[in-house]
Amino acid sequence: MSPAQLPPAEYYASLPKSITGAGVILHDEHGRFLLVQPSYRHDTWEIPGGGLEEGEFPWQAACREVKEELGIDINPGRLLVVDWVPPQPDGRPALANFLFDGGSINQHTAEQHVRLQSDELNAWRLAGPDEWDHLFAEHMIRRLHACTEALTSGTTAYLHHGWHPVR
Protein backbone atom coordinates (compact mmCIF):
# COMPACT_ATOMS: atom_id res chain seq x y z
CA MET A 1 0.00 0.00 0.00
CA SER A 2 1.45 3.38 -0.98
CA PRO A 3 1.54 6.25 1.57
CA ALA A 4 -1.27 7.97 -0.35
CA GLN A 5 -3.52 4.96 0.30
CA LEU A 6 -2.90 4.77 4.06
CA PRO A 7 -5.41 6.19 6.53
CA PRO A 8 -4.06 9.52 7.86
CA ALA A 9 -3.19 8.19 11.33
CA GLU A 10 -1.13 5.32 9.86
CA TYR A 11 0.56 7.61 7.35
CA TYR A 12 1.55 10.12 10.05
CA ALA A 13 2.81 7.31 12.29
CA SER A 14 5.08 6.16 9.45
CA LEU A 15 6.85 9.53 9.12
CA PRO A 16 10.24 10.28 10.72
CA LYS A 17 10.13 11.71 14.23
CA SER A 18 11.69 14.95 15.42
CA ILE A 19 11.52 17.06 18.55
CA THR A 20 11.34 20.81 18.92
CA GLY A 21 12.96 23.15 21.42
CA ALA A 22 12.78 26.87 22.04
CA GLY A 23 14.90 29.27 24.03
CA VAL A 24 15.80 32.89 24.54
CA ILE A 25 18.93 34.94 24.25
CA LEU A 26 19.02 37.39 27.15
CA HIS A 27 21.97 39.70 26.52
CA ASP A 28 23.76 42.68 28.02
CA GLU A 29 25.39 45.75 26.49
CA HIS A 30 28.76 43.95 26.36
CA GLY A 31 27.50 41.09 24.15
CA ARG A 32 27.32 38.61 27.01
CA PHE A 33 24.46 36.10 27.13
CA LEU A 34 22.69 34.80 30.22
CA LEU A 35 23.48 31.10 30.49
CA VAL A 36 22.24 28.41 32.86
CA GLN A 37 24.03 25.37 34.26
CA PRO A 38 21.78 22.30 34.29
CA SER A 39 21.89 20.07 37.38
CA TYR A 40 21.52 16.96 35.21
CA ARG A 41 24.67 17.67 33.11
CA HIS A 42 28.11 18.74 34.25
CA ASP A 43 29.79 19.02 30.85
CA THR A 44 28.00 22.09 29.47
CA TRP A 45 26.02 25.23 30.11
CA GLU A 46 22.78 25.93 28.28
CA ILE A 47 20.63 28.71 26.90
CA PRO A 48 17.42 29.18 28.91
CA GLY A 49 14.74 27.15 27.19
CA GLY A 50 13.54 23.62 26.61
CA GLY A 51 11.26 21.30 24.74
CA LEU A 52 7.81 22.13 23.46
CA GLU A 53 4.80 20.59 25.14
CA GLU A 54 2.00 19.02 23.09
CA GLY A 55 0.21 21.69 21.03
CA GLU A 56 2.56 24.49 22.10
CA PHE A 57 4.10 27.00 19.69
CA PRO A 58 7.88 27.66 19.94
CA TRP A 59 7.36 31.26 21.09
CA GLN A 60 4.98 30.07 23.85
CA ALA A 61 7.49 27.43 24.95
CA ALA A 62 10.24 30.05 25.17
CA CYS A 63 8.05 32.20 27.45
CA ARG A 64 7.04 29.22 29.60
CA GLU A 65 10.56 27.86 29.92
CA VAL A 66 12.04 31.21 30.98
CA LYS A 67 9.29 31.59 33.59
CA GLU A 68 9.89 28.05 34.89
CA GLU A 69 13.69 28.13 34.78
CA LEU A 70 14.47 31.74 35.74
CA GLY A 71 11.28 32.91 37.45
CA ILE A 72 10.87 35.90 35.15
CA ASP A 73 8.12 36.84 32.73
CA ILE A 74 9.32 37.94 29.32
CA ASN A 75 7.81 38.69 25.95
CA PRO A 76 10.49 37.46 23.57
CA GLY A 77 11.18 39.50 20.48
CA ARG A 78 12.02 38.33 17.03
CA LEU A 79 13.34 34.95 15.97
CA LEU A 80 17.14 35.00 15.83
CA VAL A 81 18.07 31.44 14.87
CA VAL A 82 16.54 28.15 13.80
CA ASP A 83 19.01 25.29 14.09
CA TRP A 84 18.23 21.84 12.68
CA VAL A 85 20.19 19.17 14.52
CA PRO A 86 20.19 15.70 12.94
CA PRO A 87 19.39 12.51 14.88
CA GLN A 88 22.15 11.68 17.37
CA PRO A 89 23.99 8.39 17.98
CA ASP A 90 22.51 8.20 21.51
CA GLY A 91 19.04 7.72 19.96
CA ARG A 92 17.78 11.29 20.23
CA PRO A 93 15.67 12.14 17.19
CA ALA A 94 16.27 15.18 15.02
CA LEU A 95 15.74 18.52 16.75
CA ALA A 96 14.48 21.87 15.47
CA ASN A 97 15.64 24.56 17.90
CA PHE A 98 14.12 28.07 17.81
CA LEU A 99 15.98 30.91 19.57
CA PHE A 100 14.30 34.25 20.23
CA ASP A 101 15.64 37.62 21.32
CA GLY A 102 14.90 37.72 25.05
CA GLY A 103 15.94 41.34 25.37
CA SER A 104 18.48 43.13 27.51
CA ILE A 105 19.50 42.10 30.98
CA ASN A 106 22.41 43.23 33.13
CA GLN A 107 24.16 41.72 36.12
CA HIS A 108 22.29 43.87 38.64
CA THR A 109 18.83 43.14 37.16
CA ALA A 110 19.58 39.43 36.90
CA GLU A 111 20.75 39.28 40.52
CA GLN A 112 17.50 40.93 41.60
CA HIS A 113 15.05 38.95 39.49
CA VAL A 114 16.45 35.56 38.43
CA ARG A 115 15.14 32.74 40.62
CA LEU A 116 16.51 29.44 39.36
CA GLN A 117 14.39 26.32 39.14
CA SER A 118 16.37 24.52 41.84
CA ASP A 119 15.55 20.95 40.79
CA GLU A 120 16.82 21.55 37.24
CA LEU A 121 19.45 24.32 37.37
CA ASN A 122 22.53 24.89 39.54
CA ALA A 123 23.65 28.35 38.45
CA TRP A 124 23.37 31.20 35.98
CA ARG A 125 25.96 33.57 34.59
CA LEU A 126 26.55 36.20 31.96
CA ALA A 127 29.26 35.04 29.57
CA GLY A 128 30.68 36.51 26.38
CA PRO A 129 32.09 34.94 23.23
CA ASP A 130 35.59 34.78 24.74
CA GLU A 131 34.26 32.33 27.38
CA TRP A 132 32.03 30.12 25.23
CA ASP A 133 34.82 27.78 24.06
CA HIS A 134 35.13 26.15 27.47
CA LEU A 135 31.40 26.23 28.33
CA PHE A 136 29.77 24.65 25.26
CA ALA A 137 29.99 21.93 22.65
CA GLU A 138 31.20 23.09 19.21
CA HIS A 139 27.73 23.21 17.60
CA MET A 140 26.44 25.36 20.48
CA ILE A 141 29.34 27.80 20.09
CA ARG A 142 28.49 28.17 16.39
CA ARG A 143 24.81 28.64 17.30
CA LEU A 144 25.64 31.38 19.82
CA HIS A 145 27.84 33.20 17.32
CA ALA A 146 24.95 33.06 14.84
CA CYS A 147 22.71 34.61 17.53
CA THR A 148 25.24 37.41 18.02
CA GLU A 149 25.32 38.04 14.27
CA ALA A 150 21.51 38.02 14.05
CA LEU A 151 21.23 40.48 16.95
CA THR A 152 23.64 42.95 15.38
CA SER A 153 22.50 42.60 11.77
CA GLY A 154 18.74 42.37 12.31
CA THR A 155 18.60 39.08 10.40
CA THR A 156 17.47 35.56 11.22
CA ALA A 157 19.85 32.63 10.74
CA TYR A 158 18.97 29.15 9.55
CA LEU A 159 21.56 26.58 10.65
CA HIS A 160 22.40 22.91 10.19
CA HIS A 161 23.84 21.77 13.54
CA GLY A 162 25.28 25.21 14.09
CA TRP A 163 26.59 25.71 10.54
CA HIS A 164 25.16 27.98 7.88
CA PRO A 165 24.15 25.64 5.02
CA VAL A 166 26.27 25.61 1.90
CA ARG A 167 24.54 27.61 -0.81
Task: Look at residue 158 and tell me whether its pLDDT is greater than 80.
Answer: yes
pLDDT of residue 57 exceeding 70: yes
Who wins on pLDDT, 119 or 99?
99
E-strand stretches of the chain: 18-27, 33-38, 49-51, 79-85, 94-104, 121-127, 157-160
Architecture of domain 18-32+43-160: Alpha-Beta Complex (3.90)
Tell me, what's the pLDDT at 16?
A: 83
What are the domain boundaries of the chain? 18-32+43-160
DSSP state of 3: G
> Cα–Cα distance between 3 and 25 in angstroms, integer?
40
State pLDDT tens for residues 134-144. Answer: 999 999 999 99
